Amino acid sequence: MEYGIKELSELAGVSARTLRYYDEIGLLLPLRTNAAGYRFYGEKEVELLQQILFYRERGLGLDQIKNIMYQRDFDILSALYGHLQELENQKKRLDGLISIVKKTILTKKGEGVMSDKERFEILREKMIQENEEKYGQEVREKYGHASMEAATQKIKNMSERDFEHFQKLENEILLRLRDGVASGKMPEDEEGRAIVLLHKEWLGMTWKTYSKQAHKGLAEMYVKDVRFTAYYDKKVQGCAEFLKNAIEFWVDKI
């Protein structure tokens, strides 16, 4: 079965303009284009469009999606299992957050009791789980099992004040990266130095021991691993590259 661009647009809930743009950048090519210039899409293209929308929902940029989908070993079934795993993980995290919010509401209404530790425990566990799912394997392969376990333990042992500071550091790094890229600043500028200092402090709160070499190695992963890049580039494209270049320029100078 084939779909015209208008039909596929209505079926998938995306605009015809978006489909034309995907064609222009080589992300989703039509099965064929007739002499009048009308695009037609087959079963394979429909499946690929579904994958594009799944990856977009997960926060990946179009360039990242294109790199993933047009690798030689890309397999739609494997990709679907990956989406399913990610969605199930998101569901677990949301279920945990829903539970703690409900318990907090009951406590505020005088219908339950919650310790200060419980208020932050789910957030801590969420962070540990996300770190393990996204980076656990790479960290263990590159820096050893002990490094990952030490980072996990340091998060678990954080006081509420330390944990709040840890989160504030992360948010400030993201905000300053986005502002820096959006305003045209360069990694070599003073703002780049300030971001690297914040990033170093942030890492020091979980790393067993800090080293400049490891910091540079992590920076390299930010642009080579699509999960890292997607995290930093979620709102402003180029943040991962900015951070990597800033770390490489400043880490030996601070």
Q: What share of the chain is helix, strand, coil (3-state, %, to 5)?
A: 70, 5, 25
pLDDT confidence band for 36 (50 / 70 / 90): very high
Question: Tens digits of per-residue pLDDT, 42-94?
Answer: 999 999 999 999 988 877 788 888 988 988 888 888 888 888 887 887 787 77
What does the pLDDT read at residue 250?
Answer: 98
Choose the weakest-confidence range: 31-40, 85-94, 170-179, 187-196. 85-94
Whether the per-residue pLDDT at 134 is higher than 70: the answer is no
What does the pLDDT read at residue 215?
Answer: 94
Q: What residue type is assigned to position 129 of the chain?
A: Q
User: Exposed, middle or buried: residue 199 (CB in 10 Å: 0-12, 13-18, 19+)?
Assistant: buried
Provide mean pLDDT across the span 114-130.
71
Domains annotated for the chain, with CATH where assigned, are 3-70 (1.10.1660.10), 76-150 (no CATH), 158-251 (1.10.490.50)
Whether the per-residue pLDDT at 133 is higher than 80: the answer is no
Two tokens at 148?
A: 């990952």
